[in-house]
Amino acid sequence: KNEVEQSPQNLTAQEGEFITINCSYSVGISALHWLQQHPGGGIVSLFMLSSGKKKHGRLIATINIQEKHSSLHITASHPRDSAVYICAALNSGGSNYKLTFGKGTLLTVNP
């Protein structure tokens, strides 16, 4: 059983829509990462957060440590946002440099 669960697995939206991708985790964490993987395969780090909320352009990430839940929001979605979005939990403890990854959410934004 994966310790990091994402929903939905697949998401199709129309350009301009507000997008929410959810991530739940069962392990204790020191931080949670959101990553973006484009069809070409390259992986880019979007956010790393351990509490509260972060915003970068049209992307917003939130985390609730008590509920073990994080969300990634995309406002005014655009076809170029089409990608796989992956959340990854950074395990807390003495060795806080191991990430447990979710399976990803495939987002398709249609024009």
Residues that bind another protein (CB under 8 A): 2, 4, 31, 33, 35, 41-45, 48, 86, 88, 90, 96-104
Main-chain dihedrals φ then ψ at residue 96, nearest 5 degrees: -90, 45
Q: How far is the CB of 86 from another protein (least distance, A)?
A: 7
- Alpha carbon 14 to its chain centroid, in Å, reads 20
Q: Which is closer to another protein, CB of 31 or CB of 65? A: 31
Opening angle at CA 102, ends 53 and 26, nearest 5: 75
Q: Which is closer to another protein, CB of 30 or CB of 110? A: 30
Q: Which is closer to another protein, CB of 17 or CB of 100? A: 100
Q: Is 81 helix (H, G, I), strand (E, B) or coil?
A: helix
Q: 22 is written with which tokens?
A: 């959810």
Q: How far is the CB of 93 from another protein (least distance, A)?
A: 13
